[in-house]
Amino acid sequence: METMQQVVGRARAAFNSGRSRSLEFRIQQLKALERMVNEREKEILAALKADLHKSGPDACSHEILGVLRDLVLAMEELPSWAAPQPVKKDVLTIRDEAYVRHEPLGVVLIIGAWNYPFVLVMQPLIGAIAAGNAVVVKPSEVSENTARLVAELLPQYLDKDLYTVVTGGVPETTELLTQRFDHILYTGNSSVGRIVMAAAAKHLTPVTLELGGKSPCYIDKDCDLTVACRRITWGKYMNCGQTCIAPDYILCDPSIQSKVVENIKETLKEFYGEDVKSSPDYGRIVNKRHFKRILVLLEGQKIAHGGETDEASCFIAPTILTDVSPESKVMEEEIFGPVLPIVTVKSVEEAIEFINLREKPLALYVFSNNKQLIKRVISETSSGGMTANDVLMHSVVPGLPFGGVGHSGMGAYHGKYSFETFSHRRACLIKDLRMEMVNKVRYPPGSMEMVHL
């Protein structure tokens, strides 16, 4: 059994060998990853089903497709991403070469989360490989089947020394974090985010923290409620609410609250049938600990729909709470479950104020026909990202960076931003050793002409 020091040492030696520098090598590794995802799809889907009760098409759409898409993008764009980028020159440098090089950082660490356990290690991994780094991957031990599978599969397809998977729980991760990395990308909750950043600080290691929070969803009176609720239902109950950018709670006028409930109920029936528990498309809570945590949030609340649970299978029915008090427990922490509280507000001003009193969320949603209102909500709030008139979708736009702000995180990735996150932008200026006349004005004694140039 290797120690963490040995694992990281091996990765560093492999990086120092220089073989991950060539674009051909990186593309070859990405191609191998693509083959892995295609050839072993069945096993990947089986692991996701075992960990989170995800159905085949669900897991395919939400985990596999995104990975394949990022792989194709990286393979196609890498030459242009990695090319030196010339910059605008000034009077003093007009005859020089001035450009920015994207260089690998070295050995990077990716810590995955359990809710989308495959894509949340793979998507960063694609960027890290594309950028030319050696990578240590630490999948979440909570989604144990996927963790085990990733640990088995990666060495079968990728360079074993450059790319390593480390499994284990808190003690193993803590030990891993004592090692020196050149970047750490962590997906998870804010408390552990602090621990990761504190560990990184010891080595001055830059971090990308993809955390969470309570993503608010404001529904304006002036909107197509049927459509809005349909889209919200989709995003809220996907993966049984265990999505970092799920709409966490709803803010709306009291006059539309019951209509919202009715619409969501209708949509739930359409999506999952009369007996949600027997729908193959409805997930389960990942483990007993989280199951119990979410149950506590229901205490004392007005349950307008749902509320049924079954501990043996970690089943919690799609649940809606109405007239929720801002001070209640369900409004304190990120729910990360299929419970949707509705907090009533009298106006968009009140909604904005409500949102701004709280920590900056990872995502923010607003539904309205009124373009001005949407503009206002965007301008007067802050969040990692946002979507108007839908949920989740900003996270799949190829050109948008995906990340948090404040307690919901720092840094961003996806697509090209993954490559940039794992690269160092090195400023390069190449001058001529001749042309010394030009420099004369800058030298002492006291040349004020230089200043007035």
Partner 1 sequence: NPYAGLVSRLRASWLSEKTRPMEYRMAQLEALGHFLDEKKQDIVEATASDLGRAAFETELSEILLCKNELHETLNNLSRWMKDEHVDRTLAMQLDSAFIRKDPYGVVLIIAPWNYPTSLFLAPLIGAIAAGNCVIIKPSEVSKKMERLVAEALPNYLDKDCFAVVTGGVQETTRLLENKFDYIFFTGIPPVGRIVMAAAAKHLTPVTLELGGKNPCYVSDTCDVTNVARRVAWGRFFNAGQTCVAPDYLLCTLEMQEKLIPALQKAIKDFYGPNPQESPDFGRMVSDKQFQRIRALLGSGRVAIGGQTDEAERYIAPTVLVEVQPSDPIMQEEIFGPVLPIVVVANMNEAIDFINSRERPLAIYAFSSDDKVVNQVLERTSSGGFCGNDTLMHMTLSSLPFGGIGNSGLGMYHGKFSFDTFSHRRGCLKRGMGREPLNGPRYPPYSQQKLGVVRAASRVTRPDACTLL
Nearest to 240 by CA among 278, 286, 292, 295: 286
- Least spacing, CB of residue 135 vs partner 1, in Å: 17
Cα within 13 Å of Cα(321), Cβ side: 25
82 versus 147: smaller Cβ distance to partner 1:
82
To partner 1, the closest distance from the beta carbon of 121 in angstroms equals 20
Contact present, 137 and 150 (Cβ < 8 Å) = yes
User: Tokens 């200026």 correspond to what residue?
Assistant: 429
Place of tokens 């528990």: 277
Which entry of 229, 244, 252, 314 is annotated as an active-site residue?
244
Half-sphere exposure of 436 (CA within 13 A, CB side): 3
Q: Closest separation between CB of residue 440 and partner 1, Å?
A: 9
Q: How far is the CB of 292 from partner 1 (least distance, A)?
A: 26
The angle formed by the CA atoms of residues 233, 143 and 139, to the nearest 5 degrees, is: 115
Q: Which is nearer to partner 1, 265 or 424 (CB)?
A: 424
Please say which residue, 124 or 139, places its beta carbon nearer to partner 1: 124
Residue 210 annotated among the catalytic residues of the structure: yes
Cβ 37 to partner 1 shortest distance, Å: 13
Compare residues 298 and 316 and give the one whose CB is closer to partner 1. Answer: 316
Pick the catalytic residue: 144, 210, 334, 420? 210
Output the smallest distance, CB 439 to partner 1, in A. 7
Q: Which is nearer to partner 1, 299 or 436 (CB)?
A: 436
Q: Which is nearer to partner 1, 89 or 265 (CB)?
A: 89
Could you give the C-alpha distances from 30 to 12, 265, 387, in angstroms and in order? 20, 44, 31
Do residues 222 and 371 lie in contact, with contact meaning Cβ atoms separated by under 8 Å? no
How remote is the C-alpha of 21 from its chain's centroid?
26
Q: Kindly state the smallest distance separating residue 422's Cβ from partner 1, in Å.
A: 12
The smaller minimum CB distance to partner 1, of residues 194 and 277, is found at 194
Min CB(73)–partner 1 separation in Å = 6
The answer to whether residue 380 is catalytic is no
Nearer to partner 1, 19 or 148 (CB): 19
Q: Which residue numbers are catalytic? A: 210, 244
